[in-house]
Amino acid sequence: MTFLNLKKNKPETAKDSKSTRNLSVTAGSKSTAMALTIPLSAGASEAIIRPRVTEKATMLSEQGRTVCVFEISRSANKRDVADAVRAIYKVSPEKVAILKVPPKKSFVRGRVSKGKTGRKAYVYLKKGEKIEII
């Protein structure tokens, strides 16, 4: 049964440079720096689809709360959204809340059809930080 090669060692593939970020750590009295690579979670770049500009989102931001609302992919979780906000907007989110958007009903030729459901994320930022959405 050796023709199946089940125990064959497979070579490791090189990771993409996009999926890792570099951190430089310096020792207390030493002048040498050591670079660490921490992989980003899979899907962090595809987590945010677009900003969601609605009346409620603009009212929340005008009331002094530092909240931004984004449409996110169906497979994204809170950690992916937080990593994507850090990477794209260079701010650190304090809290992320994810909600489902219900489908819209429409009537076509007497029949009811439903649109596509979605998800949105409320990203709460620290005081003093701001995201400008044009």
Q: What is the pLDDT of residue 4?
A: 62
Where are the chain's structural domains? 46-106+113-125
The CA–CA distances, whole Å, from 8 to 5, 13, 15, 21 equal 5, 15, 21, 32
CB distance 114 to 103 below 8 Å: yes
| CATH architecture of the domain with residue range 46-106+113-125 | 2-Layer Sandwich (3.30)
CA distance 11 to 13: 6
Give the pLDDT of the chain (134 residues) as one tens digit per residue.
Answer: 556 666 666 655 555 545 444 544 444 444 334 333 445 555 566 899 999 998 998 888 888 778 999 999 999 999 999 999 999 999 999 999 999 999 999 998 999 999 888 999 999 998 888 887 77
Give me the pLDDT at residue 79, please.
95
Cβ–Cβ < 8 Å for 129, 85: no
